Structure 1
Amino acid sequence: MERTILHINVVNFFVAVARVVDPSIASYPVGVRASGSRRVLMDVSSEGREAGVVRGMTVEAARRKCPDLRVVDPVPSEYRRAEKFLFEQAASLSPLAELAGPGHLFIDLSGTKRLLGPAVDVADSVRKRIKQQCSFDCTAGLATNRLVSKIATRVIKPTGLCTVLSGCEEDFMSPLPVSFLPGLEQRYLEQLLQFNLRLIKDLNRIPASTLATVLGPSAYEISRQSRGIDDTPVREILKPAPSVAQRITLGEQTNDKTRIAAALFGMVSDAGAKIRKMGLAAGKIRLGLTYADGSQVSRSLKLSRPLRGDLSLHEQCAMLLEKIFTRRVRITELTADFLELTFPYGQMDLFSDNQREEKLMDALDCIRDTFGEKAIKYWGRSVA
């Protein structure tokens, strides 16, 4: 059965919510501060972007470019209310519905024509209902997979409906800039531009094996995406949120805190790379250890904001380790579970004061992608 995937995108989600909360700013350029930072913007209205204001810019710099800019604080409770409404709209249509980031919703409408009618009518109805009940402008994209449906919503911003027929995916994507490929990391984009590969059709003329000499193993997935190929399913409503679990069995039992801490950092680094590859951040950490006498202990920590950087995650894990490693008995195993993976409300390292960590993580991920997972080793691995 041919798939039919609907993507709904509430344009400038945080700004849209802010304007509903405070209608007096509806006619002004708006910037929303990042959670945990009063200096940096995590979202900007279209009027602000026209004046040169961009996400990640400091409030001071933004106001110099756009004196009329209204800067507001984030309101997570209102974001949750808005996303709950969006999800309820999706759940009424299909059991395969997934929130894929603030204001982004995927709905699998495959096989629903008899029950709901033509998919294009369903998409238009959902878009209009969101506008009527929440005053949110949104775009809708219909295609045979998630990738193309998401790109379709970017093509027609700030509002409207775009349908890409089956078999037309590559033709639809060919004239678009390579920056339209979702999830294309900045380092890959810069490399492509250096080789004058500016349009998706330019990528399609180059074999994936040739691209791999420049981009590493990621080239094969990028090549598939450039042709509109994507098999990623829409997650079931009741399916639990994704998580990352790490476990290390110590080859030699030890109670040397330095060696244990080093092993922990290696675990966290592996987990951090996986979390970033998923485009998510961890909202909760559970750390456990097994003593040589067989006893086990664990403790969980709910993070004040989602994290994805190795250094930030390790700092939290190290604090947990101090709390649970209280005996002088040697340990045989460490476990770390990174739970409640989510799309943070602009709280990723790009919007924090620690941008150097973000750049470091990008560099390490690039090395792993190019030379393999074992290209980076930590001293702590010697205890494994």
Structure 2
Amino acid sequence: MERAVVHLHVPDFCAVLEELRDPSRRRRPLAVADAGGRAVVLAANALARREGIREGMPWAVAVRRCRALQVVPPDRSFYRNVHETIVRDLMAFSPVVEAGALGRYFVDLSGTRRLWGPFTDTACRLEEEMLHRRRLPTRAGLASNKLVSQVAADCVDVGDVSRVFPGGERTFLQGLSVEALPGLGPKTADRLADVNIRRIGQLAALNPEDLVPVVGHHASRLVQLARGEDPSPVVPFEKDAALRLVHELARETIDWHEIDAVLLRLVEEAGWTLRRRNRLPGRLLLEVRYADGMEVQGTRHVRPEAQVLDRALFHAVRALARSVCQRRVALRRIAVTWSRFQLPVRQLALFPETGLSEAREQRIQHALDTVRSRYGHNALMWAVGYGAQK
């Protein structure tokens, strides 16, 4: 069966949504950015791009470059809701739809030819659906894998479809700049330029072993992508039940004592809710937003416990935070999401990971919950969480 993957891309997704909210914004250069001198531009409309405004540009630089620039604070929950709604719309054409970054979608059309007709016609129809139903201008790439379909979409204008037929992936990629490969950043591109590798075709012709001194252990994967080989499947979008807690810091901080205090307060609130609902989390997601607007995240598997113990969960969150927060930049926002819930099942741990006495921790946790149930959640707290910003 012939594999066909369509990549749909809505350029300037966040800026376009803000223009749809308020059509008057289309008449002026628009940038989406957080408030503050160290914030960066997250999205810009077409008029702003003509003035030289780009994503990642410092907010202060953008304002100086374009005096008429209107800056809108990002509404991330609104963007995420629209993003998920579009995924559900696309699932009418194929049950296998993957949601990438905001405004990017992969649709696996394999096996749908008898239902929808030729793949190219279906890609055009998907673009029309996005424009008429959501008023979102889209460009599309169609190929035999996710990598080539994404590169193909980025090579055409809005409203066009780029079709790369099976067997022509390497020929299509060879004349493009190495920066066209998804995930290849400017630092890696500079390293390749130092050894006079500027085109994907030059990269594809190399032996991976010869590239190891330049890019390290990523050499094999990089050469594979340059040859248009991408066996990764389209992963269907699934929205699981989750408990999400967000804390906006009253003042930006880089002090780990304050960060630990905030993390503990979030863990205590989550643990209280989970114990009341008799659920154990299996997965932890930590999202951090820096003062300049950059966001990073990390995930970790949570070992099932006989009960949800605050200190055991706190050790997991704190360890994940240490691995995620690598920049020497103050934090502005912290979000913790618990998912993959299951019912408690008593099972003795052969190798305890937390170093805590489970029986003792359960007694302490029960005593804390009893006091808090009667006198309020802030009646008792751990010393670590006392300094948390309100």
Which band: TM-score by shorter chain? 0.5 to 0.7
Counterparts of 1:163 and 1:77, CA distance in 2: 34
Aligned residues of 1:288 and 1:299 also touching (Cα < 8 A): no
Instruction: Provide the TM-score with structure 1 as the length reference.
Output: 0.65
Name the counterpart of 1:379: none
Name the counterpart of 1:235: 235
Q: Which amino acid aligns with 1:61?
A: V
Name the counterpart of 1:92: 92
Aligned residues of 1:6 and 1:109 also touching (Cα < 8 A): yes
Counterparts of 2:234 and 2:204, CA distance in 1: 26
Name the counterpart of 2:341: none
Counterparts of 1:69 and 1:55, CA distance in 2: 14
Name the counterpart of 2:105: 105
Q: Post-superposition shift, 1:214?
A: 1.2
Secondary structure, counterpart of 2:140 in structure 1: strand
Q: Post-superposition shift, 1:74?
A: 0.8
**1:140-185 CA-partner distances (Å, limit 9, x unpaired):** 1100000000001110134411110011101111111100000013
TM superposition outliers: structure 1 runs of 4+ over 6 Å? 35-38, 283-291, 300-303
Q: Give the 5 Å matches for 1:1-384.
A: 1-34=1-34, 39-238=39-238, 281-282=296-297, 298-299=312-313, 309-311=324-326, 332-334=352-354
Counterparts of 1:225 and 1:63, CA distance in 2: 38
Aligned residues of 2:37 and 2:60 also touching (Cα < 8 A): no
Name the counterpart of 1:255: none
Counterparts of 2:35 and 2:101, CA distance in 1: 16
Q: Post-superposition shift, 1:28?
A: 2.2
Secondary structure, counterpart of 2:353 in structure 1: strand
Q: Which amino acid aligns with 2:313?
A: R
Distance 1:75 1:36, change over 3 A: farther
Q: Post-superposition shift, 1:78?
A: 2.3
Counterparts of 1:290 and 1:199, CA distance in 2: 52
Relative contact order, CA 8 A, sep 6+: which one is greater?
Answer: 1
Name the counterpart of 1:363: none
Aligned residues of 1:290 and 1:334 also touching (Cα < 8 A): no
Aligned residues of 2:142 and 2:149 also touching (Cα < 8 A): yes
Distance 1:201 1:52, change over 3 A: same
Q: CA RMSD in A?
A: 3.7
**1:227-275 CA-partner distances (Å, limit 9, x unpaired):** 111001001344869xxxxxxxxxxxxxxxxxxx9xxxxxxxxx99xxx
**1:74-93 CA-partner distances (Å, limit 9, x unpaired):** 11232133212310122111
Counterparts of 1:35 and 1:214, CA distance in 2: 39
Counterparts of 1:35 and 1:287, CA distance in 2: 35
Secondary structure, counterpart of 1:299 in structure 2: helix
**1:195-247 CA-partner distances (Å, limit 9, x unpaired):** 22111112123222111121111011110111111001001344869xxxxxx
Name the counterpart of 2:263: none
Aligned residues of 2:29 and 2:68 also touching (Cα < 8 A): yes
Aligned residues of 2:204 and 2:224 also touching (Cα < 8 A): no
Between stretches 97-106 and 130-139, larger displacement belongs to 130-139
Q: Which runs of 5+ in 2 are unaligned?
A: 242-259, 261-283, 286-294, 336-350, 356-390
Q: Post-superposition shift, 1:281?
A: 4.5
Number of equivalences: 282
Distance 1:52 1:296, change over 3 A: closer
Overall identity of the aligned pairs, in %:
29
Aligned residues of 2:32 and 2:71 also touching (Cα < 8 A): yes
Aligned residues of 1:286 and 1:299 also touching (Cα < 8 A): no
Aligned residues of 1:143 and 1:163 also touching (Cα < 8 A): yes
Q: Post-superposition shift, 1:311?
A: 4.1
Counterparts of 1:67 and 1:139, CA distance in 2: 31
Distance 1:220 1:175, change over 3 A: same
Aligned residues of 1:98 and 1:236 also touching (Cα < 8 A): yes
Q: Which amino acid aligns with 1:117?
A: G
Q: Post-superposition shift, 1:115?
A: 1.2
Aligned residues of 1:8 and 1:104 also touching (Cα < 8 A): yes
**1:111-161 CA-partner distances (Å, limit 9, x unpaired):** 110112111111111111111122211111100000000001110134411
Q: Which amino acid aligns with 2:13?
A: F
Instruction: Provide the TM-score with structure 2 as the length reference.
Output: 0.64
Name the counterpart of 2:347: none
Aligned residues of 1:282 and 1:307 also touching (Cα < 8 A): no
Distance 1:174 1:12, change over 3 A: same
Counterparts of 2:163 and 2:35, CA distance in 1: 35
The structure whose Rg is larger is 2
Aligned residues of 1:290 and 1:296 also touching (Cα < 8 A): no
